[in-house]
Chains A and B, each alone.
Chain A
Amino acid sequence: MRSPTTRLAAGVVVTLAIILAYAGYTLNSVRRMREVQTEIVDQNRKAALQLIRIQSDLNSLALALRDMLDQTDGYPLTAWGPQLGRIRENLDDAIRVEAALAAGRRDPQQAAYLAASFAQLWTAVDRMKALAETGPPAAVTAFIRETLEPQLQALTSLTARLLVQNNAEEQRAAEQIAGIYGEIERNAYVFLGLSLVLVLVVSLALIRSNRILFERLASLSNQRRELAQQLIATQESTLRTVSRDLHDEFGQILTAVGAMLSRAGRSAPAAFTQELQETKVVVQETLEKVRALSQALQPVILEEQGLGAAVEWYLPVFERQTGIAVRYTGPANAPVLDAGRAIHVFRILQEALNNVARHAGVNEVAVELHSEPLRLRVADAGPGIAADATPGVGLAGMRERAELLGGTLLVETAGGTTITLEVPRG
């Protein structure tokens, strides 16, 4: 089976690449918009403000000329000099700023015409002021009406046209910005769609890989369980065979040897009687050891009297062998369990007590056995299992046996070690 990591990594890389590409595209669009806004819209807006300022100044000039024609204030025409000077100063400044803002965008001929028109206006204003100093008021008013006012009118129209042009440019810039916004919007949808498809593909691949992995894991787990069960079954079968052979074959042989030695003793010369008697004792001890070994390998009591009796038989044996006192709490009713299942409970008890003897370093161990539901608990007050300890084969065997029973094995290490086997009813 091929590992999905490469494909998943590729998916992630592609997703990241798309996100980065889109972020780059968005930033670039924003930069373009800013440029458009700064270079065109802002420039146009500033230019429009200056054009309005020019219009306002031209209007002020027209009003001043009107006041001069009316002469209702009772002041000589020369009195308007400073006012006209201020208007000119402001107007020149507005023209200069506007020209700088419009540089590069305005037709050179138009720019030249504008400059020439204003120059002509100021020349006429200067001439009017000179006339006001020296000439009769009638000549000044005639000059205003015939020369200055038409020029002013023409310049006002020209400024209005420039404002219209400016407005048209601003409109174009606005359309350009709208286009960029539209492009960004379209691409946002494309990006969203692509991202969704990609996420979908990667997710499906992930689900498929996971499913295969889990199936594979489940299969392996089953195989392992079957193997373990076969192993345990083989082990139990072997132990039963060996135990029976020891009990039946070697027991018979040793019993027969004992009987033969008794007969031989009766007919043997006195010199051998003592030796034969010693040999008979050795044979008898061997016979008892063989029987004990047979019982240990496959307690017959388990098959004949059940789990409760087997446990009660085994615990004193354990006490004698290890010197560790066992505090036993038995069940009210003897557990009803066939020998094929009871042997697993018994083996778990044996293994748990062996672990106490080997690792706990205690003088006492508590054993509890309950029936309905079946629960076996072995608890010691030793140091517990170290966190970094490697789980041994014994513990794995106990778990396998618990699984064979359809139960659970709980190992607790707080304040000693407690092994609890629970087998539900049924």
Chain B
Amino acid sequence: MTRRELLFALAAPGPRLQLVDVTRAAGLNFTHHTGAFGSRYLPETLGPGCAFLDYDNDGWLDVLLVNGQDWPGHPKRRATLQLYKNNRNGTFTDVTKAAGLDISFYGLGVAVADFNNDGFPDLYVTGVGQNRLLRNTGRGTFVDVTAAAGLGNRTGFSTSAVWLDYDRDGHLDLFVCNYVRWSPESDVFCSLDGKAKSYCTPEAYRGTTCWLFRNKGNGTFEDVTAKSGLFDASSKSLGVAMLDYDQDGWPDLFVANDTQPNKLYRNNRDGTFREMAVRAGVAFAEDGRARAGMGVDAGDFRRTGREGLAVTNFDNEMIGLYESTGTGFVDRAAETGIAAASRTTLGFGCLFFDADLDGHLDLLAVNGHIDDSVRNLARGPAYAQPPHLFLNDGKGKFRDISGEVGGGFREPKVGRGLALGDFDRDGDLDVLLTTNGGPAYLYRNDVGNGHRSIRFRLEGRTSNRDAIGAVVQVEDEGGWQMRRIRSGSSYLSSSMLAATFGVGLQTAVKRVVVRWPNGRVDEFKGLPTGVTYHCVEGQAPVALNYR
């Protein structure tokens, strides 16, 4: 810490950021529809996801919220996806219908990326039954190209999804998590008291494989699940994160499984993957048990240049915070203070981000139980649970400051989806979260300590246009930081693609290195902070003001 930073910190006691609940003011009047009618179907407990995306490419982040629907034979109300356009003044307008997204199906998650490299973000919406690939026309509308893209006639119980260019051919491929084999017809009767039906845990159902679809570059996809070695019928997957754990420049995948061992798929650079989770130490908890993995994110939270992992789990299982050793991972949740703080919470969405822009990645996790009948248990866990915002002190400790950031942020919620994006373009990352059967929340992040950020919006040329998989490294007074451009992570959700770095009070960074997915490296020096840079592959960065 420089003398100036120290003086500033002393002069500004208390929390260094505020999360202001602007949901109502912004006009987000969404309520998740689970379709529940008393039969307690398993999918009702899982959704919904959410996304920050700039669907109209106007430079201002819009909001997409996924919704469920009525179960067949039990009509209540029509529910659809909901798209909110950013009015650039802190408010949003519901443009669902105009955008052609008033589609009613049992949606759960969403992955956002420009799969056809046309400059406009497309959507892959997962759910129960047929998932949807919705192509952005570039004119403010989306069209369903599921069947045309070769992704039709495929039903499942899909959860999180991630776009990645696993074969580095410049076209984004798609990895989709599937949970269990479930349908209303095969629903199992489970009960906590032997009388009333309760929601079943995944042990009651058979697992099912995740899917990998290779983008053929012509608007169609090929199912390479079996060919790539990713086929695994035992998995019950909920979360997925892309990372490069062996640092070979090829994207690997971590899959969080519920009551099954997590999977870590190392990219063999030949179109196949090798599962390494047991060897790498991320398959099981420290006691050898498979935990109920929900959400996951990868990030360099120790500033070592290597990506660690955060995995949310069931209550009494604690968040797994895995630090990379270079060849594997070590769970540091206990010594960092995260384990104790997360012992009684059931986590879903989780994301690393530099909440207070001090140069260290913090961790945000939303929580909430799956079964509302736990409210009837005398000493059971709560149904609605407060989220965690763990502030990283840069010395190996994390402290939950969710109660210090205002905005009712710590109010218990039945949290599920979580996405991050700078919707007000003030340089810090704002929070979008969803609740099961409840509203979505938009929290505006007001970093009040004078800390600055620097942001990079990447555009690939021979690499995929969104530059997903690219790594941005920034050297500042505190050493190196790194971010990977990634879709997915968290749980059922997609965040802003641009990489945001907190730099404290520094007005410039020493050096910036961009490692593009195709292997190209661009390097820039002495960039001022407080600016978003548009970096086109192979070209000098162009500064864009935040406002």
Please state if B225 and A86 are interface contacts (CB–CB under 8 Å). Answer: no
Inside 8 A of A79's CB, which chain B residues have their CB? 209, 225-226, 231
* CB 8 Å contact bits of B221-256 with A (1 = contact, 0 = none): 000011001111110000000000000000000000
Inside 8 A of A60's CB, which chain B residues have their CB? 234
Q: Give the Cβ gap from B237 to chain A, nearest Cβ, in Å.
A: 14
Closest residue of B by beta carbon distance from A77: B226
Closest residue of A by beta carbon distance from B278: A90
Inside 8 A of A49's CB, which chain B residues have their CB? 288
Binds B, one of A67-75, A263-271, A326-334: A67-75
Please state if A76 and B226 are interface contacts (CB–CB under 8 Å). Answer: yes
Inside 8 A of A76's CB, which chain B residues have their CB? 226
Please state if A73 and B233 are interface contacts (CB–CB under 8 Å). Answer: yes
Q: Give the Cβ gap from B226 to chain A, nearest Cβ, in Å.
A: 3
Q: Give the Cβ gap from B193 to chain A, nearest Cβ, in Å.
A: 29
Please state if A80 and B231 are interface contacts (CB–CB under 8 Å). Answer: yes
Q: Is B522 an interface residue (CB 8 A)?
A: no
Q: Give the Cβ gap from B87 to chain A, nearest Cβ, in Å.
A: 45
Measured in the bound complex, the distance between the Cα atoms of B232 and A86 in whole Å is 10
Inside 8 A of B226's CB, which chain A residues have their CB? 75-76, 78-79
* CB 8 Å contact bits of B208-226 with A (1 = contact, 0 = none): 1100000000000000011
Inside 8 A of A86's CB, which chain B residues have their CB? 232, 275
Q: Is B88 an interface residue (CB 8 A)?
A: no
Closest residue of A by beta carbon distance from B273: A82
Q: Is B181 an interface residue (CB 8 A)?
A: yes
Q: Is B206 an interface residue (CB 8 A)?
A: yes
Closest residue of B by beta carbon distance from A59: B234
Measured in the bound complex, the distance between the Cα atoms of B232 and A7 in whole Å is 84
Q: Give the Cβ gap from A115 to chain B, nearest Cβ, in Å.
A: 23
Closest residue of A by beta carbon distance from B229: A82
Please state if B232 and A82 are interface contacts (CB–CB under 8 Å). Answer: yes
Residues A83 and B231 in contact in the complex (CB < 8 Å), given A73-B209, A75-B209:
yes
Measured in the bound complex, the distance between the Cα atoms of B181 and A64 in whole Å is 14
* Of the residues B206, B233, B278, contact of A83 by C-beta under 8 Å: B233
The count of residues in chain B whose C-beta lies closer than 8 Å to any C-beta of chain A is 15
* CB 8 Å contact bits of B400-429 with A (1 = contact, 0 = none): 000000000000000000000000000000
Q: Is A63 an interface residue (CB 8 A)?
A: yes
Closest residue of A by beta carbon distance from B275: A86
Residues facing A in B137-163 (CB within 8 A) are none
Please state if B275 and A64 are interface contacts (CB–CB under 8 Å). Answer: no
Residues facing B in A48-63 (CB within 8 A) are 49, 60, 63
Please state if A64 and B234 are interface contacts (CB–CB under 8 Å). Answer: yes
Please state if A75 and B206 are interface contacts (CB–CB under 8 Å). Answer: no
* Of the residues A63, A72, A75, A90, contact of B231 by C-beta under 8 Å: A75
Closest residue of B by beta carbon distance from A66: B206
Q: Give the Cβ gap from B158 to chain A, nearest Cβ, in Å.
A: 14
* CB 8 Å contact bits of A75-100 with B (1 = contact, 0 = none): 11011111100100010000000000
Inside 8 A of B206's CB, which chain A residues have their CB? 63, 67
Of A49, A64, A86, most B-chain CB atoms within 10 Å: A86
Inside 8 A of A80's CB, which chain B residues have their CB? 231, 233
Please state if B234 and A83 are interface contacts (CB–CB under 8 Å). Answer: yes
Measured in the bound complex, the distance between the Cα atoms of B206 and A73 in whole Å is 12
Measured in the bound complex, the distance between the Cα atoms of B234 and A63 in whole Å is 8
Please state if B225 and A75 are interface contacts (CB–CB under 8 Å). Answer: yes
Of B181, B208, B226, B230, most A-chain CB atoms within 10 Å: B226
Measured in the bound complex, the distance between the Cα atoms of B225 and A73 in whole Å is 11
Residues A72 and B181 in contact in the complex (CB < 8 Å), given A49-B288, A63-B206, A79-B225:
yes
Inside 8 A of A63's CB, which chain B residues have their CB? 206, 233-234
Q: Give the Cβ gap from B224 to chain A, nearest Cβ, in Å.
A: 11
Measured in the bound complex, the distance between the Cα atoms of B231 and A73 in whole Å is 10
Q: Give the Cβ gap from A92 to chain B, nearest Cβ, in Å.
A: 12
Measured in the bound complex, the distance between the Cα atoms of B209 and A72 in whole Å is 11
Residues facing A in B184-210 (CB within 8 A) are 206, 208-209
Residues facing B in A195-243 (CB within 8 A) are none
Closest residue of B by beta carbon distance from A67: B233
Residues facing B in A317-342 (CB within 8 A) are none
Closest residue of A by beta carbon distance from B226: A79
Measured in the bound complex, the distance between the Cα atoms of B278 and A75 in whole Å is 25
* CB 8 Å contact bits of A359-389 with B (1 = contact, 0 = none): 0000000000000000000000000000000
* Shortest beta-carbon contacts, A-B, top 5: A79-B226, A82-B229, A79-B231, A67-B233, A83-B232
Instruction: With A73-B233, A79-B225, A86-B275 given, name 6 new contacts (CB 8 A).
Output: A67-B206, A79-B226, A81-B229, A82-B232, A86-B232, A90-B278
26 A-B pairs (CB sep. < 8 Å):
A49-B288, A60-B234, A63-B206, A63-B233, A63-B234, A64-B233, A72-B181, A73-B208, A73-B209, A73-B231, A73-B233, A75-B209, A75-B225, A75-B226, A75-B231, A76-B226, A78-B226, A79-B226, A80-B231, A82-B229, A82-B230, A83-B232, A83-B234, A86-B232, A86-B275, A90-B278
